[in-house]
Amino acid sequence: MMPVCLGVPAKVIEIRRDGEMRIAVVEMGGITLEVLLTLGEEVKPGDYVIVHAGIAISKIDDAELESILKLWKEVIEGNSTV
């Protein structure tokens, strides 16, 4: 069986620098945490990113966010074939 890796959508609350690293404070599911920002694209507070293993791996738009949240809701409710 192949391992499953999940990326979780998170809202960017704040961005700061720690030396050469960019750190984003994000909120996901009522939890606030810091993640490493490695994206080449511009990310600002209010944007949504996909977080995996403490790293923001991609920025997502509103349409993609809605689709992802719908899938998460289906998985949580047990109604998904995913």
Tell me the CATH number at 33: 2.30.30.140
User: Within a domain: residue 1?
Assistant: no
Sign of CA dihedral 77, 80, 63, 40: positive
Q: What is the pTM of this model?
A: 0.78
Quick check: is 82 in a domain? no
Number of domains, the chain: 1
Write out pLDDT tens, residues 13-69.
999 998 889 999 999 889 999 999 988 788 999 999 999 999 999 999 888 888 888
Question: Do the domain assignments include residue 26?
Answer: yes
Assigned domain for 2 exists: no
In-domain check, residue 62: yes
By residue range, what is the domain housing residue 56? Answer: 8-77
